[in-house]
């Protein structure tokens, strides 16, 4: 049993996971078109080496990693490369080049795809990192950081604990929960592979207490492994955020940006990433599909799909029974940190963990009232920041003061805006300040170079 | 799919607390004290309360119309100002006192500066200070005997204490409210009931009243008895006068109290210190009004210096060393 | 220095456009102190009109020969003359009023209004204009004092005592407010009057701008 510390801040959110918690993971099938963005991970975009008109098979690499921090891209099913053209990337909110594949329905796997090993003793640490790189593995928790890079921290850093993040603290989402319930053993295999890849001696699986079946499944799966443990977190948002998780489970604080968890000897990965790692070793399949929850009061039949990367949202929503009532908002991700979409014609990215459809009545914007200085945002910030001042300064254009109040440290979790009784758009203001500060720093750096 | 989707920034969920909801909670928490006022001092209390509330709401509406702003009486903050002001007045006070006081509180202390969220001191207390200066006789002599509803011009227990005598009501009388005093400050039990509702609902931070009451208690205990130290009656000092009303309902006004927990604690302590100073060595028998008003003015200063230790900025050297060692262990 | 100014405009601007108390916000100390009654305010205003006009004329007449570097001490000397005259006249013919106004009569020497008008106007413009300026600003100031004094006295004591014509008592809805006779009451009155005047001016200016814009179309 792991001793938990009391984390700071956070809010208790309505769970709303009951909508899809009982839906077993089902295959989403093959849509009419797959859009694979060359930039759907943290780092440099991938470089494609297929051409328009090429025939590709499932698991075939279509783009290579460019530079040290980048990831490879693979075709999720067999078909023809219809186009390589700019498409609207919903998370980056700009046009990004994408490889568009038209599936042929035969779903033929590429030749040479074979299991690498069934036992971790048969793979060395370097081999694991190579597999992660070749399979185009990225963090499936949302930030999509290339896993191979994560497993190779700068020389001199020693990782002593690896945390597996199964907290899934956002309401409505159940993808990680169902994955843990149904594939606990595979996840543990992948987790141990990741640990070996990083060289971490100890691993802790972190789950929130609102997923009892998942907790039981994971506890059973880690049974024989002495170096693994399960930590059950009280379900408060955003305990599943990387920084907060490390503080609550290990009592350590990650240094402010550009600090990373590796500075305190920790690496954090999502359960989905561990599952994908396991698949890459056990079957040789690279990252071409993932579990996504399609849920919300706005879909008729909330479900957890195993969907191909690049599947359009419209296809998934139709598979989930279509709309229920008038849709008001379609959110890619969870309700607290997800991005609202302008339409359903956007594809699933590697980092998409859920699609949330809210009804019109639920999404009506509320009038914004003046700030009351009630301090509820301060009480709820998990990083102990002062959102009230950052947002006020940002709204009035005082970038220096916003920077002084550590606007750059904000993780945009949304707990402050959730607790604000005046419904002030705190996260939006802070994001604005961050963008302007980054712009200013870039301009200053460019001027210095001249 | 022809429907237009709404695209807004995250988060897409909003919490259950709204401004109106918070104000309603405060009004609800003051209901026990208001009922107690009517029971103890008679139906005139209700007239005073109504006059104050109506004047506050009307002043806000008329002023906002005059300067062509949206009328915001719906957020119930004017109602609270009127109610709180009424509870600080003696029961026998002539009706122009709450009417003018509420109008002053809402117009001068709040609306002129920009409305909700911009008052620089507690509006109800600003109104009270104004009527105290305008009609000192009304506020110091229009008492009503409890339960018999007769007009009385004697002194409140606080004034009695001030003049050096010791004939004050018993603790049980003080708790129930069987004594002379303002509408809202006498029935301590009703006030505590409302206060516990506010704390349970998460509307106010308990650290502010704790600091206030603690400071008043400590000050009265240490310096209360003239000529000797540590022999004062702290409990009576806390229960008499407007300390309970002020600590839980007035000092905790969001706009004029600090934003951080520690800051609120210091504000409470500061207000308590000023209250005790005025009570023991100042010219008024009651120091709550100016204690809180003074700390309202100091709040921006507190906010400036109360910056928490952010996540990641580990000042403690040993922790920093341990963190670095964990990343470097070979 | 710049062309011909309208004498009439120099006189009337002291009433609203360059109102000493509510627009230029100068000379506040005696304003707040003497406006506890209308009568006090009135006589103070008369004293200021006399001093202001006299000193403006003197400063303007001597402006060409006053060196720039020592102009302020020169102003003070020139202002002190009419102030002493006022003081002596008041002491001789209105001793009660002199004792009520107390130290504020000799303090007219350093009253910001007088020095400000000397510096900003009399030093630059011809004698007739300065005369009109002094009269206008002084008269405007006197009206200010009467208005403020009227409000404060009325609310503070319930009646207005006007010279020997007798008092105008008022059937008030409420008892007199003691606070009005004290500095806080003065500040609040002043502030509210300033706000109302600013509101009226802003409304009339926006109406004028709207009318001009409509005329252009």
Q: Tell me the three-class secondary structure of A402-442, residue by residue.
A: HHHCCHHHCCCCCHHHHHCCCCCCHHHHHHHHHHHHHHHHH
What DSSP line would sit under B51-110, residue for residue? HHHHHHHHHHHHHHHHTT----GGG-HHHHHHHHHHHTS-TT--THHHHHHHHHHHHHHT
Which of the other chains make 3 or more beta carbon contacts under 8 angstroms with chain B? A, C
CA of B106 vs chain C CAs: smallest distance (Å): 14
Three-state DSSP class for C161?
A: strand
pLDDT at C197 over 80: yes
* Structure tokens belonging to residue A174: 């159940």
Q: A30-103: what fold?
A: OB fold (Dihydrolipoamide Acetyltransferase, E2P) (2.40.50)
- pLDDT per residue rounded down to tens, chain B (330 residues): 556 888 888 899 888 999 989 999 999 999 999 999 998 888 889 999 999 999 999 999 999 998 888 888 888 899 999 999 999 999 888 888 999 999 999 999 999 898 888 899 999 999 999 999 888 888 888 787 777 777 777 777 777 776 666 667 777 777 877 778 888 888 888 999 999 999 999 899 999 999 999 999 999 888 877 777 887 778 888 888 889 999 999 999 999 999 998 999 999 999 999 999 998 888 887 889 999 999 999 999 998 888 877 888 775 555 555 545 544 443
Q: How many CB atoms lie within 10 A of CB B187?
A: 28
Of A158, A335, A389, Cβ closest to residue B13:
A335
Mutation for testing the A interface, residue in B2, B3, B5, B202 having most A CBs under 10 Å: B5
CA distance A407 to A429: 10
Q: How many CB atoms lie within 10 A of CB B58?
A: 17
Q: Helix, strand, coil % (nearest 5) of chain C?
A: 75, 5, 25
Asked if the C-beta of B112 comes within 8 angstroms of chain C's C-beta atoms, the answer is yes
CA of B232 vs chain A CAs: smallest distance (Å): 36
Could you tell me the pTM of the whole model?
Answer: 0.85
Q: A290-363 is classed in which CATH architecture?
A: Roll (3.10)
pLDDT at C145: 93
pLDDT at B281: 86
Q: What is the torsion angle, in degrees rounded to the nearest 10, for the CA atoms of residue B311, residue B316, residue B318 and residue B323? A: 20
Confidence of residue A275 (pLDDT cuts 50, 70, 90): very high
Q: What is the mean pLDDT of residues C105-118?
A: 89
CA of C209 vs chain B CAs: smallest distance (Å): 19
pLDDT at B167: 65
CATH superfamily for A117-282 is: NADH-ubiquinone oxidoreductase 51kDa subunit (3.40.50.11540)
pLDDT at A120: 85
pLDDT at B329: 42
Asked if the C-beta of B328 comes within 8 angstroms of chain A's C-beta atoms, the answer is yes
pLDDT at A336: 92
CA distance C188 to A128: 77
Note the pLDDT tens digit of each residue in B216-233: 999 988 887 777 788 777
pLDDT at A192: 92
Of B96, B108, B130, Cβ closest to residue C174:
B96
Contact C177 B108 (CB under 8 A): no
Of A394 and C8, which is predicted with more confidence?
Answer: A394
Q: Nearest CA to A69 among A260, A246, A255? A: A260
Q: What is the largest CA-CA distance in chain A?
A: 64
CB pairs < 8 Å spanning B and C: 29
pLDDT at C85 over 90: yes
pLDDT at C67 over 60: yes
Asked if the C-beta of B5 comes within 8 angstroms of chain A's C-beta atoms, the answer is yes
Asked if the C-beta of B67 comes within 8 angstroms of chain A's C-beta atoms, the answer is no
pLDDT at A42: 86
Confidence of residue A281 (pLDDT cuts 50, 70, 90): very high
Confidence of residue A267 (pLDDT cuts 50, 70, 90): very high
Asked if the C-beta of C72 comes within 8 angstroms of chain B's C-beta atoms, the answer is no
CA of B201 vs chain A CAs: smallest distance (Å): 13
Asked if the C-beta of B130 comes within 8 angstroms of chain C's C-beta atoms, the answer is yes
pLDDT at C2 over 80: no
pLDDT at C1: 42
CA distance A238 to C34: 63
What residues contact residue A357 under an 8 Å CB cut-off, 6+ apart?
A294, A295, A296, A297, A298, A299, A317, A323, A327, A329, A330, A331
Of B144 and A161, which is predicted with more confidence?
Answer: A161
CA distance A168 to A335: 12
CA closest to A364 among chain B residues:
B6
Q: Do chains B and C touch, with touching meaning 3 or more CB–CB pairs less than 8 Å apart?
A: yes
> Chain-centre distance of CA C148, in angstroms?
11
pLDDT at A176 over 80: yes
Helices (H) and strands (E) counted in chain C, each on its own, are 8, 2
Contact A386 B259 (CB under 8 A): yes
Contact A369 B1 (CB under 8 A): no
Cα distances from A25 to residues A30, A279, A344, A346, in angstroms, run: 16, 16, 22, 22
Taking CB atoms and an 8 Å cutoff, what residues of chain B touch A171?
A: 13
pLDDT at C7: 81
CA closest to A159 among chain B residues:
B327
Note the pLDDT tens digit of each residue in C40-63: 899 999 999 999 999 999 999 998
Q: What is the mean pLDDT of residues A398-413?
A: 88
Asked if the C-beta of C184 comes within 8 angstroms of chain B's C-beta atoms, the answer is yes
Q: The CATH number of the domain where B196 resides is what?
A: 1.10.3430
Contact B329 A363 (CB under 8 A): no
pLDDT at C164 over 50: yes
CA closest to C173 among chain B residues:
B96
Of B67, B97, B134, Cβ closest to residue C179:
B134
Mutation for testing the A interface, residue in B327, B328, B329, B330 having most A CBs under 10 Å: B327
Q: How many domains does chain B have?
A: 1
Contact A329 B258 (CB under 8 A): no
Three-state secondary structure string covering chain A:
CCCCCCCCCCECCCCCHHHCCCCCEEECCCCCCEEEECCCCCCCCCEECCCCCCEECECCEEEECCCCCCCCEECCCCEEEEEEEEEEECCCCEEEEEEEEEECCCCCECCCCCCCCCCHHHCCHHHHHHHHHHCCCECCCCCCCEHHHHCCCCCCCCCCEEEEEECCCCCCCCHHHHHHHHCHHHHHHHHHHHHHHHCCCEEEEEEECCCHHHHHHHHHHCCCCCCEEEEEECCCECCCCHHHHHHHHHCCCCCCCCCCHHHHCEEEEEHHHHHHHHHHHHCCCCCCEEEEEEECCCECCCEEEEEECCCEHHHHHHHCCCECCCEEEEEECCCCCCEECCCCCCECCCCCCEEEEEEHHHHCCCCCCCCCCCCHHHHHCCCCCCHHHHHHHHHCCCHHHHHHCCHHHCCCCCHHHHHCCCCCCHHHHHHHHHHHHHHHHHHHHHHHHC
CA of B89 vs chain C CAs: smallest distance (Å): 16
Contact B10 A344 (CB under 8 A): no
The answer as to whether B316 is a domain residue is no
Note the pLDDT tens digit of each residue in A186-243: 999 999 999 999 989 999 999 998 899 999 999 999 888 888 999 998 888 888 888 8
Contact B311 A382 (CB under 8 A): yes
The answer as to whether B325 is a domain residue is no
pLDDT at B248: 94
pLDDT at B289: 92
Of B67, B97, B108, Cβ closest to residue C188:
B108
Q: What is the mean pLDDT of chain C?
A: 86
8 A C-beta contact, residue A385 and residue A410: yes
* Structure tokens belonging to residue A371: 């700030």
Taking CB atoms and an 8 Å cutoff, what residues of chain C touch B97?
A: 174
CA of B59 vs chain C CAs: smallest distance (Å): 15
Contact B135 C185 (CB under 8 A): no
CA distance B40 to A290: 69
Asked if the C-beta of B75 comes within 8 angstroms of chain A's C-beta atoms, the answer is yes
Asked if the C-beta of B68 comes within 8 angstroms of chain A's C-beta atoms, the answer is no
Taking CB atoms and an 8 Å cutoff, what residues of chain B touch C174?
A: 94, 96-97, 100
Asked if the C-beta of B137 comes within 8 angstroms of chain A's C-beta atoms, the answer is no
Asked if the C-beta of B248 comes within 8 angstroms of chain C's C-beta atoms, the answer is no
Confidence of residue C33 (pLDDT cuts 50, 70, 90): confident
Strand pairing category for C159-161 and A202-208: unpaired
Which of the other chains make 3 or more beta carbon contacts under 8 angstroms with chain C? B
Of A158, A243, A336, Cβ closest to residue B11:
A336
Q: What is the mean pLDDT of residues A366-392?
A: 91
- What DSSP element (H or E) covers C49? helix C38-61
Of C175, C179, C192, Cβ closest to residue B133:
C179
What residues contact residue B20 under an 8 Å CB cut-off, 6+ apart?
B74, B75, B76
8 A C-beta contact, residue C47 and residue C86: yes
The answer as to whether B7 is a domain residue is no
CA distance A267 to A260: 9
Q: Name the residue with tokens 């779903």.
A: A107
Q: What is the mean pLDDT of residues C12-28?
A: 86
């Amino acid at each position: 049993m792991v001793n938990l510390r009391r984390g700071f801040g956070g809010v208790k959110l309505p769970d709303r996971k009951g909508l899809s918690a009982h839906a077993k993971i089902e295959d989403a099938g093959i849509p009419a078109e797959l859009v694979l963005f060359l930039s759907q991970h943290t780092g440099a975009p991938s470089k494609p080496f297929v051409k328009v008109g090429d025939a590709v098979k499932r698991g075939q690499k279509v783009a290579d990693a460019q530079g040290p921090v980048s990831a490879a891209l693979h075709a999720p099913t067999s078909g023809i490369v219809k186009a390589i053209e700019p498409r609207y990337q919903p998370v980056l909110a700009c046009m990004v080049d994408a490889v568009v594949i038209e599936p042929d329905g035969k779903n033929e796997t590429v030749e040479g795809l074979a299991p690498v090993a069934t036992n971790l003793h048969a793979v060395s640490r370097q081999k694991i990192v190579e597999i992660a790189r070749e399979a185009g593995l990225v963090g499936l928790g949302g930030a999509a950081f290339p896993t191979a890079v994560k497993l190779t921290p700068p020389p001199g850093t020693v990782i002593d604990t690896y945390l597996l993040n199964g907290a899934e603290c956002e309401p409505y989402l159940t993808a990680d929960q169902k994955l843990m319930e149904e594939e606990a053993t595979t996840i543990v295999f992948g987790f141990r592979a990741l640990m070996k890849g990083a060289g971490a001696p100890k691993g802790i699986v972190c789950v929130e207490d609102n997923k009892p079946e998942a907790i039981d499944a994971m506890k059973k799966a880690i049974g024989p492994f002495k170096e693994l443990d399960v930590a059950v977190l009280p379900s408060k948002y955003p305990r599943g955020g990387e920084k907060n998780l490390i503080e609550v489970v290990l009592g350590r604080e990650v240094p402010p940006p550009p600090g990373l968890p590796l500075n305190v000897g920790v690496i954090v990965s999502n359960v989905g990433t561990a599952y994908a790692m396991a698949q890459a070793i056990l079957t040789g399949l690279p990252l071409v599909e993932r579990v996504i929850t399609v849920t919300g009061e706005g879909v008729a039949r909330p479900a957890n799909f195993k969907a191909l990367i690049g599947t359009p949202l419209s296809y998934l929503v139709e598979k989930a029974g279509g709309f229920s009532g008038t849709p008001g908002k379609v959110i890619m991700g969870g309700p607290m940190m997800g991005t609202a979409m302008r339409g359903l014609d956007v594809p699933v990215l590697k980092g998409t963990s859920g699609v949330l459809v809210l009804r019109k009545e639920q999404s009506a914007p509320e009038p914004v009232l003046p700030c009351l200085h009630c301090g509820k945002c301060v009480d709820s910030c998990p990083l102990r920041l002062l959102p009230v001042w950052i947002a006020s300064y940002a709204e009035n254009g005082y970038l220096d003061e916003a920077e002084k109040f550590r606007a750059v440290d904000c993780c945009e979790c949304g707990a402050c805006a959730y607790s604000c009784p005046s419904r002030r758009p705190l996260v939006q203001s802070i994001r604005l300040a961050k963008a302007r500060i980054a712009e200013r720093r870039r301009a200053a750096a460019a001027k210095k170079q001249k | 799919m022809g429907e237009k989707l709404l695209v807004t920034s995250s988060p897409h969920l909003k919490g259950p607390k709204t401004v109106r909801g918070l104000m309603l909670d405060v009004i609800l928490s003051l209901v026990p004290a208001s009922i107690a006022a009517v029971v103890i001092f008679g139906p005139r209390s209700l007239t005073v309360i109504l006059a104050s509330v109506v004047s506050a709401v009307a002043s806000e509406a008329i002023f906002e119309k005059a300067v062509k702003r949206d009328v915001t009486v719906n957020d119930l903050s004017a109602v609270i100002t009127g109610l709180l002001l009424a509870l600080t007045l003696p029961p026998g006070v002539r009706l122009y006192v709450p009417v003018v006081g509420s109008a002053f509180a809402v117009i001068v202390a709040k609306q002129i500066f920009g409305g909700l969220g911009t008052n620089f001191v507690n509006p109800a207390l600003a109104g009270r200070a104004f009527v105290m200066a305008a009609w000192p006789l009304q506020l110091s002599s229009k008492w009503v005997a409890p339960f018999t509803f007769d007009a009385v011009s004697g002194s409140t227990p606080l004034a009695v204490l001030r003049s050096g005598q010791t004939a004050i009501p018993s603790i049980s009388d003080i708790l129930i409210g069987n004594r002379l005093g303002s509408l809202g400050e006498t029935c301590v039990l009703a006030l505590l009931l409302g206060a516990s509702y506010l704390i349970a609902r998460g509307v106010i931070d308990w650290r502010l009243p704790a600091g206030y009451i603690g400071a008043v208690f400590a000050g009265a205990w240490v310096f209360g008895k003239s000529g000797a130290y540590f022999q004062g009656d702290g409990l009576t000092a806390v229960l008499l006068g407007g300390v309970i009303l002020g600590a839980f309902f007035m000092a905790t006004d969001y706009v004029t109290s600090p934003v951080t927990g520690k800051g609120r604690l210091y504000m409470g302590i500061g207000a308590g210190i000023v209250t005790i100073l005025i009570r023991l060595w100042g010219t008024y028998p009651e120091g709550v009004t100016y204690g809180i008003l003074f700390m309202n003015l100091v709040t921006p200063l507190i906010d400036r210096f109360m910056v928490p230790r952010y996540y990641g900025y580990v000042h403690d050297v040993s922790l920093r060393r341990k963190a670095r060692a964990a990343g470097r262990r070979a | 220095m710049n062309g011909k100014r309208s004498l009439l405009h120099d006189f009337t601007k002291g009433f609203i456009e360059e109102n000493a108390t509510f627009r230029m916000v100068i000379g506040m100390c005696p304003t707040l102190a003497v406006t506890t009654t209308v009568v006090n305010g009135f006589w103070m205003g008369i004293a200021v009109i006399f001093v202001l006009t006299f000193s403006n004329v003197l400063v303007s007449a001597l402006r060409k020969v006053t060196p720039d570097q020592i102009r302020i001490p020169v102003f003070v000397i020139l202002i002190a003359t009419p102030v002493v005259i006022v003081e002596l006249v008041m002491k001789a013919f209105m001793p009660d009023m002199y004792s009520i106004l107390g130290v504020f009569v000799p303090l007219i020497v350093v009253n910001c209004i007088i020095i400000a008008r000397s510096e900003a106007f009399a030093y630059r413009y011809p004698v007739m204009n300065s005369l009109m300026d002094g009269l206008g600003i002084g008269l405007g100031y006197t009206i200010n004092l009467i208005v403020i004094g009227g409000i404060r006295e009325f609310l503070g004591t319930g009646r207005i005592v006007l010279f020997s014509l007798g008092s105008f008592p008022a059937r008030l809805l409420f008892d007199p407010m003691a606070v009005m006779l004290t500095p806080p009451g003065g500040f609040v009155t002043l502030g509210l009057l300033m706000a109302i005047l600013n509101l009226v001016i802003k409304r009339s200016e926006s109406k004028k701008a709207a009318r001009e814009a409509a005329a252009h179309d």
